[in-house]
Amino acid sequence: MGSTSIPCLWITFCIHLCCFMDTGKAQNAKEVILLDSKAQQTELEWISYPPSGWEEISGLDENYTPIRTYQVCQVMEPNQNNWLRTSWIEKGDAQRIFVELKFTLRDCNSLPGVVGTCKETFNLYYQETDSEVGRNIRENQYVKIDTIAADESFTQGDLGERKMKLNTEVRIIGPLSRRGFYLAFQDVGACIALVSVKVYYKKCWSIIENLATFPDTVTGSEFSSLVEVEGMCVSDAEEEADNSPKMHCSAEGEWLVPIGKCICKAGFHQKGDACEPCGRGFYKSSSQDLQCSRCPAHSYNDREGSWRCDCEDGYYRGLSDPPSVACTRPPSAPQNLVYNINQTTVSLEWSPPADTGGRNDVTYRIMCRRCSWEPEECVPCGGNVGYSPQQAGLVDTYVSVVDLLAHANYTFEVEAVNGVSDLSRTQRLFAAVSIATSQATPSQVSEVIKERVQQRSIQLSWQEPEQPNGVITEYEIKYYEKDQKDRIYSTVKSRSTSATVNNLKPSTAYVFQIRAFTAAGYGTYGPRLEVTTKEEASATIVSSEQNPVIIIAVVAVAGTIILVFMVFGFIIGRRHCGYSKADQEGDEELYFQCTKTYIDPETYEDPNRAVHQFAKELDASCIKIERVIGAGEFGEVCSGRMKLPGKRDMSVAIKTLKVGYSEKQRRDFLCEASIMGQFDHPNVVHLEGVVTRGKPVMIVIEYMENGSLDAFLRKHDGQFTVIQLVGMLRGIAAGMRYLSDMGYVHRDLAARNVLVNSNLVCKVSDFGLSRVIDDDPEAVYTTTGGKIPVRWTAMEAIQYRKFTSASDVWSYGIVMWEVMSYGERPYWDMSNQDVIKAIEEGYRLPAPMDCPPGLHQLMLDCWQKDRADRPKFDQIVGILDKMIRNPNTLKTPVGTCTRPISPLLDQSTPDFTTFRSVGEWLEAIKMERYRDNFTAAGYSSLDSVARMSIEDVMSLGISLVGHQKKIMSSIQTMRAQMLHLHGTGIQV
């Protein structure tokens, strides 16, 4: 066969090889090469069969790099079948294989004498195997890929020389299923030079797109297939929600159709194809944000990659605050808190805080605490108190607090809060006020029960109102005939929670309503209760209204009963009984009054009998002494607890008789109990009992938490409203009315002998027989022989020991003055002698500061020289009740004179308008020691003095409160007199 080849052709072919070589296109980065004949420097050693066919020949490429080629040119002989088989090619991941052939092929026309045998094509085959097979070529095991023809062949050059053109053909095989394959070239009589064979497959190379990494991906097996590939987020990036990154690898090894993406996590931002941490002082709160932002106001961070910044000390981020807003702090306290009290309702109003803490969600909350009169003892108000519109979360700067207790001391704190208040550990800032509620009338009597219904009478009982707001001294039962056109009301009064209404018509429907009365006045009527009296008894019984015999009999029986009652009462505690008619607010009332009379224990031969007549003997084991609270004449006064069988444990005051007492001392000591035990009134201190059968001997009294009134007032100087003070006075007057009604003359009524309980209820106390003589440090011996508390005592009692209820009224007037001046000493530091002299000369105490004129007038009335001209306690209670009901009458014009000009009482009051100098005036009021103070401050005329305010007086350096008050009272009187004289107002 070799003899039939054309060797000269090869030379030409080789010489020209460099001219037709591919000029070296850069290898496509998407291709993975499995075989490249050009790249192999050594012999290829492919299998050629028959050996005379394909021949391996070395050549040079364009860079003169040696290459290996195969040639065949058996064109002269017919029936050529020359096979060339490549080495085994492992396919790897490939599914579609590309075969690129570069070859030259001589056209038969250019070869002389080859007609008939020369061919211009060759065939390409492949065989799939899992491993290398033997060197034999079995044609039938090969699959034909294609017949390859040349596009170009040798052509004539411009200069007549022959140029060989390089043909490039690419064929694709696949999908392949075995591990590898062989390629085979079948020559059937052509003149071919196989310059290079390249076998490759295509891949999409790893890439980062949208912050996701897509790995190297082999293309699909089909020409049209796209391979979907999931991306992996680069570090510090995360997939966007519901949008995971995907791409598609095309058959051509190109990434197509990107879907979804990754985004940099919180604290990181994108730089190129990576996520970088935010720098110090910057943050990125969410992966959604594109950029890192600078830390907002009042926050910082000192590390990289932060998703938020930390708040500076004292600043906070609210729970719902995004990291992008500035850190804030709790607001300052609300400002300008003002309040208004209306009985048991307190309205509070304030201005917003100066500093809202940098937020606009400021609201307000109210803290209410009820305090005992000891300032430390405050407890939260609890759920009984109402707030309008609400207690917390207030947007507006006001609130009304309702249903407070009357006569109580409250502290309200108004706190401004914002979204970070509860996070802050700093101290709460609030505005606070302490308020004492005024007296309030009792709430409604709602539960009324008909106990007994007769033809002419109905007995009712009821529960005390839920909020008595004080001590209920009386109930008023109002009733009328239901069917009566011109509804005429009748009223009946009762001191207990039941009453029988008499003189009703039989078979008649009546409507009843009940209201309670306290020092604060009447409460509102409760709901109506309709009750019908029983039918008239049968006609055979003659009506008592018509039958004189029955009337006489009834009168006789009633008379006998009353007589028995009176006699019996005289023995065990004398009582006055009888019908009494009173008029209250136009309602005429008729009620049966029964008043006990006081019995002087001294009238008992055996004082021990008197004690046991009026006082209950207590078992000492029921009493527990806790602490000493005062010193009495006969021993210590202690507080403690008492628990009687079947009763609730209660606080008590215990007066003890010191050891080593004489029989007389014991008698005198127990005498107080014998007196006190006869009294039963809400404004008279109540005796619980005595312990005489053990030691120490004790008198057990109800416990009055706030002690004696004078000390209590001094302690709470200026803290009560006028209504509250008048409420206290009303209580004392009611207690005194009761005592005087019983025929008891106190003789030592003074604020120090009035006790105050925790509800501010005042009760008259100190009933010892010898008290005025021995017990009272205020009592002094007078020329009339006895020991008398001069400043509190009426002239006739000082002068000739005429002690009566009228002299108690005088003392009551002094108590009024003590109360209104918060425990000031009557007549200040004047000596007793001077007091007696001044009183005899007609001088009376001026109105205390801010004392309503009406009250001072009542004091002056109590100090009438002629005791018959003084009001009775009953009248005093009435006057005070009217004042309480009409608080307007208690208003004092601020800074104006409160001293009324009364011709009767004024005649003896020093006439300040007659003084010629400040010195003379100071002398008259015994304050001449301050003469220099006035001069130094430039107060040279009485006119200038009359214009002075309390602040001016204090600025003179007068530090004693008593002296300040005395001077101020005198100035007020002086001003009133000037006003009276000249009709000119003096503005202070």
**CB closer to ligand AMP out of 366 and 815:** 815
Of 331, 328, 330, the closest CA to residue 298 belongs to: 328
Stretch that binds ligand AMP, among 320-328, 570-578, 701-709, 963-971 (CB under 6 A): 701-709
What is the spatial distance between Cα 691 and Cα 693, in angstroms, rounded to a whole number?
6
Catalytic residue numbers, as ranges: 748
**Cβ at position 890, least distance to ligand AMP in Å:** 29
Alpha helical stretches, state H, 574-628: 607-614
269: helix, strand or coil = strand
Question: What's the closest the beta carbon of residue 724 comes to ligand AMP, in angstroms?
Answer: 20
Q: How far is the CB of 707 from ligand AMP (least distance, A)?
A: 4
CA distance 789 to 798: 9
617: amino acid identity, one letter:
E
> Nearest to residue 461, comparing CAs of 422, 500, 423, 426?
500
Residues between 587 and 646 with contacts to ligand AMP, criterion CB under 6 A? 629-630, 632, 637
Beta strand spans in 505-567 (E): 509-518, 521-522, 529-532
Q: From residue 56, give the alpha-carbon distance in Å to each of 68, 127, 188, 194, 921.
A: 7, 22, 18, 9, 150
Instruction: Work out how close the CB of 900 gets to ligand AMP at its nearest, in angstroms, rounded to a whole number.
Output: 34
Minimum CB–partner distance for residue 671 and ligand AMP (Å) = 13
Which of 653, 739, 925, 958 is in the footprint of ligand AMP by CB under 6 A?
Answer: 653
Q: Which of residues 707-736 bind ligand AMP (CB under 6 A)?
A: 707-708
Are 78 and 151 contacting, i.e. CB atoms less than 8 angstroms apart? no
Beta carbons of 596 and 655 less than 8 angstroms apart: no
* Alpha-carbon distance values, 598 to 430, 572, 727, 744 (Å): 56, 10, 26, 6
What is the total count of residues that contact ligand AMP (CB under 6 A)? 15
Which residue, 586 or 777, has its beta carbon nearer to ligand AMP? 777
Preceding peptide of 696 cis, ω within 30°: yes
Whose Cβ is closer to ligand AMP: residue 316's or residue 703's? 703
Binding-site string for ligand AMP from residue 668 to residue 697, where x marks contact by CB under 6 A and - marks none: -----------------x------------
Q: Which of 853, 784, 839 is nearest to 811 (CA)?
A: 839
Q: Which lies closer to ligand AMP via its Cβ, residue 199 or residue 704?
A: 704
Sole window of 18-26, 580-588, 702-710, 890-898 interacting with ligand AMP (rule: CB under 6 A):
702-710
In whole angstroms, give the CA distance from residue 361 to residue 260: 40
Write down the least CB distance from residue 752 to ligand AMP, Å.
Answer: 7
Q: How far is the CB of 787 from ligand AMP (least distance, A)?
A: 16
| Residue 741 Cα to chain centre, angstroms | 53
Q: Using CB under 6 A, which of the segments 484-492, 609-617, 703-711, 972-980 binds ligand AMP?
A: 703-711
Applying CB under 6 A, among 126, 703, 817, 915 the residue interacting with ligand AMP is: 703
Segment holding 727, helix H or strand E: helix 722-741
Comparison of 303 and 664: residue with beta carbon closer to ligand AMP: 664
Long-range contacts of 349-356 (CB under 8 A, 24+ apart): 349/397, 349/398, 350/397, 350/398, 350/414, 350/431, 351/397, 352/397, 352/416, 353/416, 353/429, 355/331, 356/331, 356/416, 356/418
Shortest-Cβ-distance residue relative to ligand AMP: 630
**C-beta separation of 528 from 483 below 8 A:** no
Q: Please select the residue that binds ligand AMP; options are 249, 755, 772, 942, rule is CB under 6 A.
A: 755
Shorter beta-carbon distance to ligand AMP: residue 707 or 789: 707
Contact segment (CB under 6 A) with ligand AMP among 371-379, 499-507, 642-650, 700-708 equals 700-708
Q: How far apart are CA 250 and CA 247, in angstroms?
A: 10
- Phi and psi at residue 537, to the nearest 5°: -60, 165
* Residues 836-855 contacting ligand AMP, CB under 6 A: none
Q: How far is the CB of 842 from ligand AMP (least distance, A)?
A: 33
Is 334 near ligand AMP (CB under 6 A)? no
Inter-residue contact 131 to 179 (CB < 8 Å): yes
Amino acid identity of residue 148, one-letter, is I
CB of 741 vs ligand AMP, minimal distance in Å: 23
Q: Which helix (H) or strand (E) holds 364?
A: strand 363-371
Q: How far apart are CA 702 and CA 755, in angstroms?
A: 10
Quote the tokens at residue 223.
Answer: 């020409």
What's the closest the beta carbon of residue 597 comes to ligand AMP, in angstroms? 24
965 assigned ligand-binding residue = no
Peptide bond into 50 cis (omega under 30): yes
Compute the distance between CA of residue 197 and CA of residue 177 in angstroms, rounded to an integer: 22
Q: What letter represents residue 39's amino acid?
A: A
Element (H, E) at 969: helix 961-982
* CB-nearer residue toward ligand AMP: 387 or 703: 703
> Looking at the DSSP assignment, which residues form a beta bridge with residue 435?
410
User: Which residue, 383 or 777, has its beta carbon nearer to ligand AMP?
Assistant: 777
The residues binding ligand AMP (CB under 6 A) are 629-630, 632, 637, 653, 685, 701-704, 707-708, 755, 765-766
Feature table: binding site: 655
Feature table: binding site for ATP: 655
